[in-house]
Amino acid sequence: MERRGTAKKKTDKLDPIYHNRLVNMLVNRILKHGKKTLAYKIFYRAMKKIQQRTKKNPLSVLRQAICRITPKIAVKARRKSGLTHKVPIEIKSLQGKALAIRWLLVASRKRPGRNMYFKLSSELVDAAKGRGGAIRKKEEAHKMAEANRTSAHFR
């Protein structure tokens, strides 16, 4: 049976302080074992630390860091006639932001220390300046795509 009518529009939730979707995406990725209040605490403490360290708006530092980390192209494995080729593909903005957030959190978790908010703030400041583990991961992805440019016709 065919469904008729309009599709329900998905409303994205915003965080209580900054009223920003990007913040909500990041908090949902920090989230572990369903403890969202802890994830918000970690995030807001990290933002306060960024404010103290850089004397800039922490939200603009976050945006700048995510923009610097977001990849433009990635490599996907495609099977063609029994062989697997790594094919470079362009990434849409939402998917790129999701990858950037994932890389940012992985890099911040790898940093030494116990305080997650301190590690997250340090990684965000480093990413905004163009260095850090997440930036290295993006550059690695771009190098891999450049190396496999000859397989682009397998899309």
pLDDT digits (tens, 9 = 90+) for 14-40: 888 999 999 999 999 999 999 999 999
Task: Write out the two tokens for 146.
Answer: 């450049």
Low-confidence spans in the chain with pLDDT less than 50:
none
Element (H, E) at 10: none
DSSP 13: P
What was the pLDDT predicted at 92? 94
What CATH number does the domain located at 21-154 have? 1.10.455.10
Q: Domain ranges in the chain?
A: 21-154
Q: Which tens digit of pLDDT belongs to each residue from 64-76? A: 999 999 999 988 8
Contacts of 107 (CB under 8 A, 6+ apart): 123, 132, 133, 134, 136, 137
